[in-house]
A = this chain, B = another copy of it.
Amino acid sequence: MAMTVKFTLSKRAQALTSSAIREILKVTERPEVISFAGGLPSPATFPVQRMREATDKVFDEAPHAALQYGPTEGYTPLREWIAARHSKNGVTIRPSQVLITTGSQQGLDLLGKVLIDEGSKVLVETPSYLGALQAFSLFQPQFVPMRTDEQGIVTEALTAEQLQGGRFMYCLPNFQNPTGRRMPLDRRQALVQRVTEAGVLVVEDDPYGELSYHGEQLPSLLSMNPDNVVYMGSFSKVLAPGLRLGYLIAPEELHGKLVQAKQAADLHTPSFSQRIVYEALQGGFLDRHIPEIRTLYAHQCELMLSALERHFPAEARWNRPAGGMFIWVTLPEGIDTGALLAQAIEQNVAFVPGAPFFAADPQVNTLRLSFVTVPAEKIEQGMEKLGVLVKAAVAANKAGAVAA
């Protein structure tokens, strides 16, 4: 009776394609590859001993509750902790606005489910986080790319036509993935005002906000108008990503719908990991731990910037991030970083080509470098190899331009 059925996939599944990053990451699992591609936090920053003590405490004090089903909204003390941490700059966040998610990525999926119909307008940065574009794409929106510069979204360039009927605007104001850019305060204020006046909801994705190298943090968009901002936070970059623990803070009317969607998606995020993280956070742990991550990442960022100066040609441009995990490099027009990646992989170096981060009109001469996963000593080594390839590509591109 072994007859095979030809499945009929949904339209959204037919449109799914494997992510470029995903395919790349497969190659970079080879230990000989120096990979600037992954957005993986440095395992050196994982507070293993602290997590172990927290786990022991959970097993000592509440093993059965930690192993049982729990409420969809999340573990109440953890929600209270999150609400308190975001109650600042004159704004009070209520625990009832917090929803614990299975990683920040799940927040994107839930927002897509609850807010996007086929053809709905969703405003996104140019470029934007690839994982968000993928999550939203499943619900078949019409992406509206917003113009950006070194300081993020150019508010004045937003037209009434772009905003009209937008379901939401998605942005990462702090050390954006992929560009590493941070929006200054005046930009934030202007953006929230403009978008709110236009009747468009703001989705603020903030996994990197705590990773400001010099410690100074800018007010969140959430703090500027909590009635119109959904804030997405994560413990992946300040504790460890393998726990898959993130959260949403949303206006209560929307929160209720997100909870219903979450219930259908996975009932709830593991009680076990929620309780462990809650215990790990006690006694102000993050405020002692995060400065260690900042120091390490600031150091590695400096190493990569220095290597860029020494090994990359004058024609390449890049930013100097004030925090986060990424540097964004723009090569001369005419160079395709996808082709460059193929050459780099042969030399056992990897990065992410910029194209997949664009909702439309990809700039194929861009690339993203992550400086946090690779140990310091390998940054120089990898960048030297990459520099040779980039110089050759720039030279060939010039020759091609002259010939044409």
Contacts and interface: CB of A to CB of B under 8 A. Distances in A.
Interface stretch (A261-269, A293-301, A376-384): A261-269
A346 interface: no
A102 B266 contact: yes
Contact of A68 (B1, B8, B46): B46
A201 interface: yes
A197 interface: yes
Contact of A7 (B67, B68, B253, B272): B253
B43 A5 contact: no
Given A3-B196, A69-B242, A265 B109 contact: yes
Interface stretch (A220-228, A283-291, A333-341): A220-228
A282 interface: no
A67 B241 contact: yes
Copies of this chain, tallied across the complex: 2
Contacts of A251: 4, 7
Given A10-B114, A48-B59, A244 B269 contact: yes
Contacts of A66: 242
B113 A5 contact: no
Nearest to A239: B67
A244 B267 contact: yes
A12 to B, nearest CB: 6
Contact of A1 (B7, B135, B224): B224
Interface residues of A, number: 92
A101 to B, nearest CB: 8
A9 B46 contact: no
A133 to B, nearest CB: 10
B228 A3 contact: yes
Contacts of A345: none
Contact of A2 (B48, B51, B134, B227): B227
Interface in A1-56: 1-13, 16-19, 22, 38, 40-41, 43, 46, 48, 51-52, 55
A244 B264 contact: no
A70 interface: yes
A65 B40 CA distance: 11
Interface in A337-372: none
A197 to B, nearest CB: 7
Nearest to A256: B18
A278 B6 CA distance: 34
A265 B55 contact: no
Contacts of A227: 2-5
Interface in A223-279: 224-225, 227-228, 236, 240-244, 251, 253-254, 256-257, 260-261, 263-273
Interface string A308-322: 000000000000000
B253 A270 contact: no
Contacts of A199: 5-6
A113 B200 CA distance: 27
A85 interface: no
A264 B134 contact: yes
Contacts of A272: 242-243, 273
A106 interface: yes
Given A67-B51, A267-B105, A228 B5 contact: yes
A22 B244 contact: no
21 contacts: A1-B193, A1-B196, A3-B197, A4-B227, A5-B200, A8-B115, A9-B114, A9-B257, A10-B115, A12-B114, A18-B256, A40-B68, A51-B63, A52-B63, A67-B241, A68-B241, A102-B102, A102-B244, A105-B265, A113-B138, A131-B264
